[in-house]
Amino acid sequence: MKAVAAQNGRIFITELGAPEPAPGHVLLRTEYSAVSPGTELSMTASSGDNPVVLGYSAVGIVERVGPGVEGIEPGERLACYGAPYVRHAERLAVPVNLTAKVPEHVDPREAAFAGLGAIAIHALRTAELQFGESVVVVGLGILGNLIAQIAGAAALRTAGIDVRAERARSLRERGVRHVYTDAADLGRDLPAITGGAGADAVLLCAGGPGETLINQAMEWLRDRGKIVIVGDLGMAFSRAAMFAKEVQVLISRAGGPGRYDTVYEKENKDYPIGYVRWTEGRNVGEFVRLLAEGRIAVAPLITHEVPLERAEDAYAAYTSGDSGAIGALLRYSSGS
């Protein structure tokens, strides 16, 4: 089967053996997979002589179920998340814990972003925001846009900022009122947005050196507010600014509890809900629910869609300086 890989900084199509569903796993025929530009371009840049298969977010149709799988039948559509089980490949053998059923009325193109959706949801959970509290989302690429939309759907006081006008406009069109391209404008309006206290949390979805951005975020926060690092951001910051407000700086790790745990993922042993309310798999399910109920929209963010064989074009949209590139999708021959 065909898959997308990176080697020595170059993206190409490779051939892999077809996977078999292990106990607790299902075999999917991939319809669409979503590109995660930050993670995948970083992996590509650091790739060496050994090829690395890319991707972690997709949607597909169940072809077979492994031993012990109950409640899932061939022909059903599932959204799925999490490398190495999920990647840009024609067939995927995925633990049931990393999947969620997709209702018929949900666009599979949107469901393909379930992995990024789970990451967005977990970032908000890491901030531990409650009803009526406020959040500023910095960086409005596909992940930041989803975070801001989900925050708005949760009735949080939400503001977003990105230096690229196209991305700011895209979020504004999704119904988020307070969207900015200039930090001074956001700082001016923030007291009105937050009720005068300052933001309860700032979620940083940008990459690169972080000192200036983190220090700026501390100015926007209320006393004892939180900064959540979502992007690949450097961790330098002013201790004095942090001390003045006793700011918490947190890292949001992927899509939630269960990620990187082989017992939860490979062995497909779920955590009891009474002890771990929101796992990565449950976050995938919540993302699909938001789509199904029309509370968020991903389709307007899909700026590039290409067949698997032209995968390199999807990544070029981000590396070529195209400021309008937000969401990129790979389409498979089985895609509708």
Cβ distance 76 to 25 under 8 Å? no
* Domain co-membership, 326 together with 264: yes
Specify the DSSP class assigned to residue 104: T
**Domain at 132, CATH number:** 3.40.50.720
Q: State whether 175 and 267 are in the same domain.
A: no
For the stretch 40-96, pLDDT in tens is: 999 999 999 999 999 999 999 999 999 999 999 999 999 999 999 999 999 999 999
* Same domain (yes/no): 286, 326: yes
Could you tell me if 59 and 111 are in contact, meaning their C-beta atoms sit under 8 angstroms apart? yes
Q: Is residue 67 part of a domain?
A: yes
The residue segments making up the domain with residue 139 are 120-251
Both 223 and 287 in a single domain?
no
The count of structural domains within the chain is 2
The residue among 193, 226, 251 that closes a domain is: 251
Q: 70 and 128: one domain? A: no
Among 251, 284, 301, the domain boundary falls at: 251
Whether 124 and 238 map to the same domain: the answer is: yes
Which among 251, 277, 295 is the end of a domain? Answer: 251
Q: How far is CA 60 from CA 41, 79, 81, 248, 303, in A?
A: 24, 7, 11, 39, 21
What integer is the mean pLDDT of 7-14?
Answer: 96
Please indicate, yes or no, whether residues 100 and 177 belong to a single structural domain of this protein. no
Do 237 and 284 fall into the same domain? no
Band of pLDDT at residue 323, cut at 50, 70 and 90:
low
Convert the pLDDT of each residue in 207-225 to its tens digit. Answer: 888 888 999 999 999 999 9
Write down the pLDDT at residue 63: 98
Range 142-165 average pLDDT:
96
What pLDDT does 334 receive?
56
pTM: 0.95
